[in-house]
Amino acid sequence: MRFAWAASLCFVACAPRGPEALPESAAGVIDAVEQALARRDFKTAHGYVDFRYRLAESLADLWRGGPEAAQDDLVARLQEMFDDTSESQRERYAGQPMTRRVQRREGRQIWVESRAPDPAGAPASGRQNQKRSKGFAWRYRLMPRGTSWAITQREYLVDGLPSDSTRFWPMARNQIAEKFGRQPTLSELAANLPSVIGTMRIRRLKVPALDGAGSQAPTTP
């Protein structure tokens, strides 16, 4: 009897859990951001994103030891890049009924996917616009902030190929370091960042598939 009771407890404890439910407040933040970006209200969208958190995470001691003016400049640059990415993907998400789910949890933070609908299920009248959304999703990392949430990172997925913004800052620092012959200070990074942004593009390499159909994988952000 004891064995059966212990076994039942183990079964309950070891049973796989279903996907984590998306908190309504987190879904509300994502919806507010995507709606603001769809109407090009970038200032409102910025209010839901913690750009300073992302920069402190990406630049570590360089960020923390840098002057406030350079930090403010980099925040403005990151906001511009956020807006540029939003605009470049605009036709894939603006006006679309996005489906959201929690992908995974990282401590207190959660990753949420906001996916555009499959064009195959779209009504005939909307297929032309829906076709542009094939295989597209935003991926947000959110952190609890009081009774709401703040976005601390955003990536996107296009036809199975994910972006990787984490690689951007080491690449930018290394390119600027080539000019100085050393790693730049935060002020030097801020001042020289515009000159290297345009030189870093996404390159995609054809990867042969087993069935002979090539697939593409991103190699740089």
Determine the Cα–Cα distance for residues 47 and 78; give it in Å rounded to an integer: 13
The predicted structure's pLDDT at residue 16: 54
Kindly state the percentage of the chain with pLDDT values over 70.
Answer: 75
Cα dihedral 172, 178, 180, 181 in deg (nearest 10): 130
Mark residue 65 as left, alpha or beta (left: phi above 0; alpha: psi -120 to 50; beta: remaining).
Answer: alpha
Q: What is the mean pLDDT of residues 111-119?
A: 90
Residue 64 has pLDDT above 70, yes or no: yes
Determine the Cα–Cα distance for residues 137 and 55; give it in Å rounded to an integer: 23
Q: How confident is the model at residue 2 (pLDDT cuts 50, 70, 90)?
A: low
The predicted structure's pLDDT at residue 201: 56
The string of DSSP letters for 154-175 reads EEEEETTEE--GGGHHHHHHHH
Average pLDDT score, the chain: 83
Sequence ranges of the domains in the chain: 19-218
Q: What is the pLDDT of residues 83-109, one digit of tens each?
A: 999 999 999 999 999 999 999 999 999
The predicted structure's pLDDT at residue 81: 95
The predicted structure's pLDDT at residue 121: 53
Q: What is the pLDDT of residues 158-209, one digit of tens each?
A: 988 999 999 999 999 999 999 999 999 999 999 999 988 877 654 444 444 4
Residue 115 has pLDDT above 50, yes or no: yes
Fold observed for domain 19-218: Nuclear Transport Factor 2; Chain: A, (3.10.450)
